[in-house]
Amino acid sequence: MKFFVDTADLNEIKDLASTGLLDGVTTNPSLVAQSGAKSFIGLIEDICKVVKGPVSAEVAATDYATMLKEGQRLAKIAKNVAVKVPLTPDGLKVCKVLSDGGTMVNVTLCFSAAQAILAAKAGATFISPFVGRLDDIGQDGMLLIRDIVEIYKQYPAFKTEVLVASVRHPVHLIESAKMGAHVATIPPKVIRQLYSHPLTDKGLATFVADWKKTGQTILDAA
Ligand code: G3P
């Protein structure tokens, strides 16, 4: 399973990339606004230098012609840019043109299996179903992931990867992995939560204390 980080904070991205576990990055207009970056193009350039895997950069327009031009501009930044387009009729038209031309496309704001089928037919590299936002309105976001994974499996010609988005906690990630989702894009805070277990901390404290009792050091051993 691939791990992307869902942030536009360059320092967070650098820190998480140093773990060696980061396969890509997703950004969106809200995350870019939060980052305070003055140049969106410059920010994506910088992220693409830090992470070699797919870096999603989202178009800002909503009409076909402008979205296409924006997508083409974003795709020029670096080979690993995945242009992010919304799941609308115009967005999927842009998806088809860009993906036919060899650009990676991430189709975002997916909330139904029917929408995911359309995105696969439009040649999306990634489909981004938003699990947390479905949970927020009293639906079960993980059921959508189960449906999309199952549907895509029926059609080997679909090359679209399921990129679980709007992840709010580690259970979203565990359930996604059990279902065989290809990728999860995870906020930095949730990535850090993945490491934690109170018994790990407790066990390590005991090992450190007991090791001290031996009076030995591994590095000074003959
Ligand atoms: O990047 C898209 C998605 O992950 C947004 O998540 O938490 O704003 O619903 P959230």
| pLDDT tens readout for residues 15-49 | 999 999 999 999 999 999 999 999 999 999 999 99
Segment 73-92 shows an average pLDDT of: 98
* This prediction's pTM: 0.96
Binned at pLDDT 50, 70 and 90, residue 11 comes out as very high
pLDDT mean across residues, the chain = 97
Active site (catalytic) residues: 84
Q: Ligand 1: which residues within 6 Å by Cβ?
A: 6, 26, 28, 130, 132-133, 165-166, 185
3-state SS string for the chain: CEEEEECCCHHHHHHHHCCCCCCEEECCHHHHHHHCCCCHHHHHHHHHHHCCCCEEEECCCCCHHHHHHHHHHHHCCCCCEEEEEECCHHHHHHHHHHHHCCCEEEEEEECCHHHHHHHHHCCCCEEEEEHHHHHHCCCCHHHHHHHHHHHHHHCCCCCCEEEEECCCCHHHHHHHHHHCCCEEEECHHHHHHHHCCHHHHHHHHHHHHHHHHHCCCCCCCC
Q: Which atom of ligand 1 is nearest to the CA of 185?
A: 4
**Res 221: pLDDT:** 79
| pLDDT tens readout for residues 122-175 | 999 999 999 999 999 999 999 999 999 999 999 999 999 999 999 999 999 999
CA-nearest residue for atom 10, ligand 1, is 166
C-alpha of residue 206 to centroid of ligand 1, in Å: 39
Segment 184-194 shows an average pLDDT of: 97
Q: Which atom of ligand 1 is nearest to the CA of 168?
A: 7
Q: Would you kindly state where each structural domain of the chain is located, as residue ranges?
A: 2-196
C-alpha of residue 166 to centroid of ligand 1, in Å: 4
**Res 54: pLDDT:** 98
Say whether pLDDT at 98 is over 80.
Answer: yes
Percent above pLDDT 90 for the chain: 99
| pLDDT tens readout for residues 100-120 | 999 999 999 999 999 999 999
**Res 222: pLDDT:** 72
CATH of domain 2-196: 3.20.20.70
Q: Which atom of ligand 1 is nearest to the CA of 136?
A: 9
